Amino acid sequence: MKNLIVTSILIALYVISSAGTSSRPLALPRSGAVGITPTIIDYPGAAVTSALGIIDSGQIVGYYRMFQGQQGQGFLREPNGTFTTINFQGFYETILFDINESGQIVGEYWDGNAFRGLLYDNGNLLTINPPGATTSAALGINDSGQIVGQYETAGTIHGFRYYGSLTTVDSTKFETIDYPGATLSSARRINDAGDIVGLYDAGGSRHGFLRSGGFSPIDVPSAASTRALGINDSGKIVGSYSDGNTEHGFFYDGISTPIPIDILGASYTEASAINLAGQIVGEYGEGSTIHGFLTVINQPLTFVHPFEPWIQSGYGFADEWEYPRCSTRPPSCDPPTGGNPFKHVGFDARPPADDIVRASADGEVKFARDIGGGFGAAVVLEHDLDRNPRTTGDIVTTLYLHLDPTSVTGDAMVKQGDPIGKICRRCAVGPHLHFGFRRASFDELNKSASYRGALPPAGTRGCQPCFSGPIQGGLPPFRDHWEDPQTLFNP
């Protein structure tokens, strides 16, 4: 085992600002990217600094060179700006590519003859080298300890996934990952769901790929080449592409067109990794100097109708007072003008031809089950408007009601357009979807007295209309405390 040499240096952060003389703002030519505030990540005095991996806590790994041509030295950077050099005695170069939440770091070292993949874990160094490989690099690691990378054998480069012990290497736990028909494949990152991104060569050009069950190519439109280099736990992808002259970074949410990431004045930009908070790290060139950078792209969510065509059903518009079929209503449900109706704040839409209801935006399933009482099933999704779990006060909750109880999804996370259920043909008064939303989280709707907490106990009517059976608790009130959903599509 090699001895680890560690030094620590505390430095100030260099924040790029449009008013500063060292300003290097990010240029994002396409619409949809906001909130860009990059920070330069430079090891003190280094001519080359490359930030290659970042975890949710903000720790960053990469490498630096004090001058061009020097062997690379690995580093770990804390969120407060402290750099720790990580190098191994007897090896000529160390490059660190990724880190997980347990502090396990992967990379490569040069032993004087070839590069070898490495795992650094709590002071211990483990060589990650697939059987028969002449060279290797460990490029990504997830929180369960699965490692991905690349290796060369017989002149061909292959991707790999290692899923064995992290104390001693089990040579039977390597899986080769080759894009079908490719002449070169490299697995660059793996997230906690096991989704892998990387790159491959085919037909004389380079492409990115996503392996999530099967393989899917990732290509920036009109690019000469594309490399997918990082993926976070919500499936957001970063990488780089070439327009034939210059290398650009990109951000891809899996749905919209990839967004270019360029630092103005830079000779090239490369986005290497992204964490769950949307923080992106990478490198850019400026003359003979290479800088690392840290930035965040807050790409606001957009909402679409749960199905098309989106036609009012005739059972209720948003913000209308309705009169239930029962003869008595609690006084708390009366409108200002008196009487016994309740407010129908939501939109009742005619079912589509296939009855399939889809998620209006990326989100998390907070509730999905039959609620009884003639309603059918309800699905409630929670959506993070700026896609940043570290911020609060930017949550929207959407409701999908009158679904077939046998069809609702149990998935924890959904993407815009994912099926979440089917219209119930035997629920409510005629088949239709009741859709509503609230600018609050699911927990806020359940806990806040202003929203009246959860539904009344089973067997009681409360502020609900009279239906044939009891109402089950656990679902926030959705009649007089949901807002007009048309404002969601037309803010």
Query: What is the reported pLDDT for 300?
Result: 65
Query: What is the reported pLDDT for 488?
Result: 53
Please identify, among 262, 296, 330, the residue that sits at the C-terminal boundary of a domain. 296
Give the separation between CA 443 and CA 307, rounded to whole angstroms: 27
State whether 256 and 365 are in the same domain.
Answer: no
State whether 185 and 221 are in the same domain.
Answer: yes
The single-letter DSSP state of residue 166 is: S
Rg, the chain, Cα only: 27
Q: Bridge partners of 135? A: 152
Residue 278 has pLDDT above 90, yes or no: no
State whether 250 and 331 are in the same domain.
Answer: no
21 Cβ neighbours under 8 A, 6+ residues apart = none
State whether 266 and 388 are in the same domain.
Answer: no
At 331, is the secondary structure helix, strand, or coil? helix
State whether 217 and 331 are in the same domain.
Answer: no
Query: What is the reported pLDDT for 446?
Result: 64
Q: What is the CATH number of the domain that holds 239?
A: 2.120.10.30
Containing domain of residue 291, as a range? Answer: 4-296
Give a yes or no: residue 315 inside a domain.
no
- Which one, of 429, 404, 434, 431, lies nearest residue 419 by Cα? 404
Mean pLDDT of 456-464: 35
Query: What is the reported pLDDT for 320?
Result: 44
User: How do residues 82-130 score in pLDDT, each as one tens digit?
Assistant: 999 998 877 889 999 999 999 999 999 998 899 999 999 988 999 999 9
Query: What is the reported pLDDT for 18?
Result: 23
Single pTM value for the model: 0.64
Give a yes or no: residue 313 inside a domain.
no
Give a yes or no: residue 301 inside a domain.
no
**At 23, is the pLDDT very low, low, confident or very high (cuts 50, 70, 90)?**
very low
Query: What is the reported pLDDT for 299?
Result: 61
Q: Which amino acid does the sequence have at 451?
A: Y
State whether 200 and 282 are in the same domain.
Answer: yes
State whether 349 and 392 are in the same domain.
Answer: yes
What domain count does the chain have?
2
**At 230, is the pLDDT very low, low, confident or very high (cuts 50, 70, 90)?**
very high
Give the separation between CA 395 and CA 362, rounded to whole angstroms: 12
| pLDDT > 70: percent of the chain | 73
State whether 245 and 339 are in the same domain.
Answer: no
- Which one, of 129, 226, 215, 207, lies nearest residue 177 by Cα? 215
Query: What is the reported pLDDT for 91?
Result: 83
State whether 370 and 242 are in the same domain.
Answer: no
b/e per residue 446-459 (b: at least 16 CB within 10 A): beeeebbebbbeee
Query: What is the reported pLDDT for 316?
Result: 54
Query: Per mean pLDDT, which of 131-140, 264-273, 399-408 is the most reliable?
Result: 131-140
State whether 287 and 328 are in the same domain.
Answer: no
Give a yes or no: residue 309 inside a domain.
no
Out of 62-76, 374-388, 390-404, 461-475, least confident range: 461-475
SS3 readout for 368-398: EEECCCCCCEEEEEEEECCCCCCCCCCEEEE
Out of 73-82, 158-167, 281-290, 466-475, least confident range: 466-475
State whether 288 and 343 are in the same domain.
Answer: no
Mean pLDDT of 419-429: 86
User: How do residues 291-317 score in pLDDT, each as one tens digit?
Assistant: 999 998 766 677 888 998 888 776 654
Give a yes or no: residue 39 inside a domain.
yes
Give a yes or no: residue 450 inside a domain.
yes
User: How do residues 29-40 score in pLDDT, each as one tens digit?
Assistant: 333 333 345 799
Mean pLDDT of 68-82: 92
User: How do residues 145-198 score in pLDDT, each as one tens digit?
Assistant: 999 999 999 999 999 999 999 999 999 999 999 999 999 999 999 999 999 999
Q: How far, CA to CA in Å, does 179 sit from each of 17, 158, 207? A: 41, 9, 10
Q: What is the CATH number of the domain that holds 436?
A: 2.70.70.10
Give a yes or no: residue 105 inside a domain.
yes
| pLDDT > 90: percent of the chain | 48
State whether 90 and 208 are in the same domain.
Answer: yes
Give a yes or no: residue 312 inside a domain.
no
Residue 47 has pLDDT above 80, yes or no: yes
Mean pLDDT of 12-27: 29
Which residue stretches of 413-468 are H helix? 442-447
